Amino acid sequence: MSAVLAVERLSKAFGGVQAVQGVSFALGEGELLAMIGPNGAGKTTCFNMVNGQLAPDSGSVRIGGVDTVGRPPREIWRMGVGRTFQITATFASMTVRENVQMALISHRRRLASLWTRAASLYRDEADRLLERVGIREQAERACSVLAYGDLKRVELAVALANEPRLLLMDEPTAGMAPKERITLMELVGEIVRERRIAVLYTEHDMDVVFGHADRVIVLDRGRLIASGTGDEVRDNPEVRQVYLGSRGRA
């Protein structure tokens, strides 16, 4: 299995504090990898170095074999990387369909067009994506009036617009009701397997971690302390101590 994402010896310090230190991991096609760790473990820093929002001090991030360090997020997107955010980031003054159309327009490089009607571009394609994530019937509604769980689905449809090979999801179920969490993650799982997409996600909810990830990596104080299947990680004594144990959830 060739790695879609390969992270090697990634390090980053903020004002003398080593936020991430020598973290390495790899991710293959169709694989769901959860990154967990207590607050302050370096998950967000690590995540932002992968998506290009932060430049690492050292180490490399390869997507499909190409080093992405130093490239802005929008270039990394053009390499086939979709993203969803912890707090959804959608275009609130547009309809659900227009949000997806916007991503398709950008993907096809039609942004500079001054005369075509944007609302008539790639309409069917957008609707197919909305159908796939289960909100086709809400296509005409404004994003600003959508329920939070549905906004998460919009983000997923938007992230799929550039036919990504890698999906980065920051806390995909944050702010959702427990039932919605399970349905959303099941949907992600289905899509990932049918399209052979690799997924890296961070998560607080242990159900979402152990119920849906193929593999789990655990960070603590900037270091990768464990990696393996859910059961392996759950049984790792170091993990129990720093993460699950300290929150009384073992």
Contacts of other proteins in 128-147 (CB under 8 A): 142, 144-145
> Between the CA of residue 247 and those of 38, 86, 240, 242, 250, what are the distances in Å?
9, 22, 9, 9, 8
CA-to-CA distance for 143 and 170, rounded, in angstroms? Answer: 20
> Between the CA of residue 198 and those of 32, 206, 208, what are the distances in Å?
6, 20, 17
15 versus 237: smaller Cβ distance to other proteins = 15
Q: Which of 62, 71, 128, 204 binds other proteins (CB under 8 A)?
A: 204
40 binds other proteins (CB under 8 A): yes
Q: Which residues contact 249 (CB under 8 A, 6 or more apart)?
A: 206
Q: Which of 21, 44, 48, 162 binds other proteins (CB under 8 A)?
A: 162
Evaluate whether 33 touches 199 at the Cβ level (below 8 Å): yes
Q: Which of 1, 2, 65, 74 binds other proteins (CB under 8 A)?
A: 74
User: In 113-223, where does DSSP find H-type helix?
Assistant: 123-133, 148-160, 178-195, 206-212
70 binds other proteins (CB under 8 A): no
Contacts of other proteins in 219-238 (CB under 8 A): none
Q: What's the min distance (Å) between Cβ of 7 and other proteins?
A: 19
| Residue 169, helix vs strand vs coil | strand
Q: Which residues contact 20 (CB under 8 A, 6 or more apart)?
A: 10, 11, 12, 42, 45, 46, 49, 56, 219, 222
Q: Which of 66, 72, 190, 194 binds other proteins (CB under 8 A)?
A: 72
Q: Which of 57, 69, 85, 128 binds other proteins (CB under 8 A)?
A: 85
Evaluate whether 213 touches 227 at the Cβ level (below 8 Å): no
89 binds other proteins (CB under 8 A): yes
116 versus 229: smaller Cβ distance to other proteins = 116
2 versus 93: smaller Cβ distance to other proteins = 93
Residues lying near other proteins in the complex (CB under 8 A) = 15, 38-40, 51, 72-75, 77-78, 83, 85, 89-95, 98, 101-103, 105-107, 110-119, 121, 142, 144-145, 148, 158, 161-162, 174-178, 204-207, 245-249
